[in-house]
């Protein structure tokens, strides 16, 4: 998860249209799995794993991030949340990599490293920013190394030894507006974020547009701002 975005939104992150919609898409993507133990890689504050603990039957979360100053234990909705800098083998049935792989040099290597730590049958839910032509100062600000087409991120996961269950794009309804904004500024390499707090009206309209897209989310392989891929360790 992009910690710089968390810093910008602070306590309002759960009410921002982008994170509300992304959390809803996450729940939809893993609903059939009935996740119990969640491993959240590059978790930051653990926003997405906490969301699953609060809104699903998931019972525990292990958040891993090399940026943590130290290990600690917490809870969410009365369920344990552990924060660790490093881990060994772990028993979990869902691994989250939410906007992580675009930050590392060896994306396939990172997936393979954690695939080796979880049991066969564990699922991976991976999200990454979509389409190279949308590269802008926003990516520079967030220290991204790349953006992906859906087939590209699926190829990375296959190369890491995972089986693809399904993949799709999300944020397709807001894609034309966002693409126009990104394309207008893509010649600038100046680091700057497009993320901002909105008033209640704008936030509500954008949230409604993204929620209306959810029924089409599982079959959208055409366009969107984010690529979602569900994969499985054989």
Q: Give tens-digit pLDDT for 219-228.
A: 999 999 999 9
Nearest of 141, 90, 140 to residue 117 by alpha carbon:
90
* pLDDT score at 21: 95
HSE at residue 56, side-chain half, CA atoms within 13 A, is 26
Tell how many helices (H) and how many strands (E) occur in the chain: 8, 8
Relative to beta strand 163-170, strand 226-232 is antiparallel
**Between 200-213 and 17-30, two packed helices, what is the crossing angle to 10 degrees?**
20
CA 167 to chain CA centroid, Å, is 13
Q: Is the pLDDT of residue 8 over 60?
A: no
Full-model pTM: 0.91
| 81: three-class secondary structure by DSSP | strand
Residue 121 makes CB contacts below 8 A (sequence gap 6+) with 93, 232, 233
Please tell me what DSSP assigns to residue 162. P
Quick check: 39 and 84 in contact, CB under 8 A? no
Average pLDDT, the chain: 91
Q: What is residue 202's three-state secondary structure?
A: helix
Range 30-58 average pLDDT: 95
Structural Rg of the chain based on CA atoms: 17
The whole-angstrom separation of Cα 92 and Cα 108 is 20
- Return the SS3 of 7: helix
pLDDT at 1: 59
78: confidence class by pLDDT, cuts 50, 70, 90: very high
The pLDDT of residue 179: 84
pLDDT (mean) for 142-169: 97
Question: What pLDDT score was predicted for residue 191?
Answer: 66
């Amino acid at each position: 998860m992009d910690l710089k975005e968390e810093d910008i939104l602070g306590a309002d992150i759960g009410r921002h249209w982008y994170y509300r919609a992304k959390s809803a898409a996450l729940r939809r993507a893993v609903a059939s799995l009935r996740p119990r133990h969640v491993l959240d890689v590059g978790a930051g504050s653990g926003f997405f794993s906490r969301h699953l603990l609060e809104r699903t039957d998931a019972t525990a979360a292990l958040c891993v991030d090399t940026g943590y100053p130290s290990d600690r234990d917490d809870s969410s909705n009365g369920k344990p949340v552990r924060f660790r800098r490093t881990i060994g083998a772990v028993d979990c049935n869902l691994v989250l990599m939410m906007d992580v792989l675009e930050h590392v040099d060896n994306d396939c290597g990172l997936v393979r490293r954690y695939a080796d730590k979880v049991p066969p049958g564990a699922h991976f839910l991976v999200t990454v920013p979509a389409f190279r032509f949308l590269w802008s100062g926003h990516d520079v600000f967030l220290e991204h190394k790349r953006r992906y087409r859906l087939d590209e991120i699926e190829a990375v996961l296959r190369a890491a030894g995972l089986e693809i269950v399904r993949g799709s794009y999300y944020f397709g309804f807001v894609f034309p507006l966002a693409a126009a904004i990104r394309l207008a500024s893509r010649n600038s390499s100046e680091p700057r974020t497009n993320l901002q707090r909105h008033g209640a009206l704008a936030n509500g309209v954008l949230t409604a547009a993204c929620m209306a897209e959810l029924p089409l989310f599982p079959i959208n392989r055409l366009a969107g701002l984010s690529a979602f891929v569900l994969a499985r360790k054989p």
